Amino acid sequence: MRQMLASLFQKEGFSVEEAASADDALERVADQDFDVVLSDIKMPGRSGIEMVGELRRLRPNTPVILMTAFGSIDSAVSSMRAGAFDYITKPFEPDAVLLTVDRALERRALEEENQRLRQAVDRTSALGDLIGESTAMREIFAMIKKIAHNRSSVLLTGESGTGKEVVARTIHYHGARADRPFVPINCTAIPEGLLESELFGHVRGAFTGAVTSKRGLFEKAAGGTLFLDEIGDMGLGLQSKLLRVLQDREIRPVGGTQSVAVDVRIIAATNRDLEQEMREGRFREDLFYRLNVIPIHIPPLRERPEDIPALADAFVRKHSEGMRHWLNPAAMKRVTAYPWKGNARELENVIERALALADSEEIGPEDLPLGDLRDDAQAPGGDDLLRSAARRRLPLRQVEDYYIDEILRLTGGNKVHAARILGIDRKTLYRRAERRARQAHPEEEVAGA
Ligand SMILES: Nc1ncnc2c1ncn2[C@@H]1O[C@H](COP(=O)(O)OP(=O)(O)OP(=O)(O)O)[C@@H](O)[C@H]1O
Ligand SMILES: [Mg+2]
């Protein structure tokens, strides 16, 4: 009977191992994870029913199907009581066994899926949208909770893509100002000349083209938070004006004669080394100390790989339509070991793209265009990616977005360098980036877009 069943399943494409007794079977089960166990009840030594209990303790996810003699109601009942998935009565048709095994496999897959979901939930430790499990991130969580309610300036530092903007939002939305506006502005995206009026507003006739007066972002952020992104790129002239605003807590619109009091929390961020910028005379020391009241440094993702699984899960949930997709363990292992030069942003882009291009809901390492770790200069999977994009009939715009992301990844997020490679000007690159950012945060106005 055992040999007959073994060859039946082998013919169906299963890989089969045989055991001649319960003890033999338990030994194998202890060191190998089988998808399903099919066993007789009457065997030399321990019975199949005794074996089920032991087996369930060893491998709670492995379904066991027992074979009982026809008409033996007792052993059918005790099989189920012992925790068997099902029983089949002898004699049986091959199709009946195959069908029962299929159902057992389906159920196992379902249980594993549930377990995976539960784990994903348990594993997620987060503060609002901010995810992290590493000591470094937990310290940042604690810091945010401590400072969210006061108005001291915050200076966020960290490489491109480490999550400075998420941290800024989290501070805002956990504080007393949560119901007031959070206004982000990217200091590099706007030419120096316009930045001043963007920040402080202008009066009518202040300069050619100023046909009406306009409120600045400081006023728009009244009572809330102004997020000055890429502060390290702000010119010296504007730096001194900003310093004055921080000292006096009032602004003067361009061309105006009257100052207006402002109540705004400033969170500034940069991926530059401001100490270095100060030494080289590109950043005012007094402004630095005004901003650096509460410094928060976010380490690069490669220094906190413990955060990668939870981030990867979150990005999968975010970008999977109907939350159908999942990373299989091999894919998870691969992303956790990857050095992520572009930090969380790169991880998110890689996952978004993998989901858009994947043929199945299970994402494996082969779906992740991570390329060869030793040769980063080679655009990973380029040809495959294009072919796959064509197969999915993706619109050009989306393919362009992916390409832009890829170049940004290769340049470590350096937008000037990336724009040069892409043959578009820097402003076009910012516009594209901001259009995508707006899709992510439609409720906010993105300055300078
Ligand atoms: N800890 C985190 N939890 C959740 N999402 C994160 C986290 N870190 C980064 N992200 C996500 O990664 C992406 C990049 O993050 P963010 O824009 O905050 O980086 P950044 O440090 O401001 O980068 P840059 O210096 O290039 O502006 C965003 O989509 C953000 O939501
Ligand atoms: Mg940013």
Residues 213 and 229 in one domain: yes
Q: Given the structure tokens 């399903």, which residue do they identify?
A: 36
pLDDT in the model for residue 375? 39
342 occurs within a structural domain: yes
Q: Which atom of ligand 1 is nearest to the CA of 137?
A: 1
424 occurs within a structural domain: no
Does the pLDDT of residue 372 top 50, yes or no?
no
Cβ-count burial 288-297 (b if 16+ within 10 Å, e if not): bebbeebebe
CATH assignment at residue 150: 3.40.50.300
Range ranked top by mean pLDDT from 290-304, 312-326, 387-401: 290-304
The first and second tokens of residue 328, run together, are 């299989």
261 occurs within a structural domain: yes
Residues 84 and 191 in one domain: no
384 occurs within a structural domain: yes
Residues 119 and 140 in one domain: no
Q: Which atom of ligand 1 is nearest to the CA of 315?
A: 5
429 occurs within a structural domain: no
Residues 51 and 96 in one domain: yes
Provide the residues around ligand 2 (an ion) whose CB is within 5 A.
Answer: 165
Of the residues 64, 89, 123, which one is the last residue of a structural domain? Answer: 123
The per-residue pLDDT for range 194-218, each reduced to its tens digit, is 899 999 999 988 888 888 888 999 9
pLDDT in the model for residue 205? 87
447 occurs within a structural domain: no
Centre of ligand 2 to C-alpha 341, Å, is 15
Residues 283 and 147 in one domain: yes
Q: Ligand 1: which residue has its CA nearest to atom 10?
A: 163
Region of residue 30 (phi > 0: left; psi between -120 and 50: alpha; otherwise: beta): alpha
Does the pLDDT of residue 379 top 50, yes or no?
no
Burial of residue 89, with CB atoms counted within 10 A of its CB: 0-12 exposed, 13-18 middle, 19 or more buried = middle
Give the residue with greater pLDDT, 255 vs 411.
Answer: 255
361 occurs within a structural domain: yes
CATH assignment at residue 346: 1.10.8.60
The per-residue pLDDT for range 77-116, each reduced to its tens digit, is 888 888 898 889 888 899 999 999 998 998 888 877 777 7
> Which range of residues forms the domain containing residue 388?
302-413
Of the residues 59, 93, 123, which one is the last residue of a structural domain? Answer: 123
pLDDT in the model for residue 336? 93
Centre of ligand 1 to C-alpha 372, Å, is 24
CATH assignment at residue 42: 3.40.50.2300
Q: Ligand 1: which residue has its CA nearest to atom 9?
A: 163
Q: Per-residue confidence at 403, pLDDT binned at 50, 70, 90?
A: confident
Residues 307 and 320 in one domain: yes
Q: 126-127 and 86-90: which strand pairing?
A: unpaired
Q: Which atom of ligand 1 is nearest to the CA of 162?
A: 21
The first and second tokens of residue 432, run together, are 């594209």
Q: Ligand 1: which residue has its CA nearest to atom 25?
A: 160
33 occurs within a structural domain: yes
The first and second tokens of residue 390, run together, are 């064509």
Element (H, E) at 364: none
Residues with CB under 6 A from ligand 1: 129-132, 158, 160-166, 271, 311, 344-345, 348, 413
DSSP 446: P
Residues 202 and 331 in one domain: no
Residues 311 and 370 in one domain: yes
Residues 202 and 248 in one domain: yes
Of the residues 89, 123, 157, which one is the last residue of a structural domain? Answer: 123
The contacts found for 364-372 with CB under 8 angstroms, 24 or more apart, are 364/328, 364/330, 364/331, 365/330, 365/331, 365/333, 365/334, 367/331, 368/331, 368/334, 368/335, 370/334, 370/335, 370/338
**Mutational test site, ligand 1, from 166, 167, 313, 319, max ligand atoms within 8 Å of CB:** 166
Residues 86 and 113 in one domain: yes
Rounded distance, CA 251 to CA 245, Å? 6
CB 224, CB 181: distance < 8 Å: yes
Domain count, the chain: 3
Rounded distance, CA 78 to CA 81, Å? 5
In 3D space, the residue among 155, 150, 194, 142 whose CA is nearest the CA of residue 172 turns out to be 150
Residues 89 and 166 in one domain: no
CA atoms 32, 33, 38, 40: torsion sign: positive
Residues 42 and 76 in one domain: yes
Q: Which atom of ligand 1 is nearest to the CA of 347?
A: 12
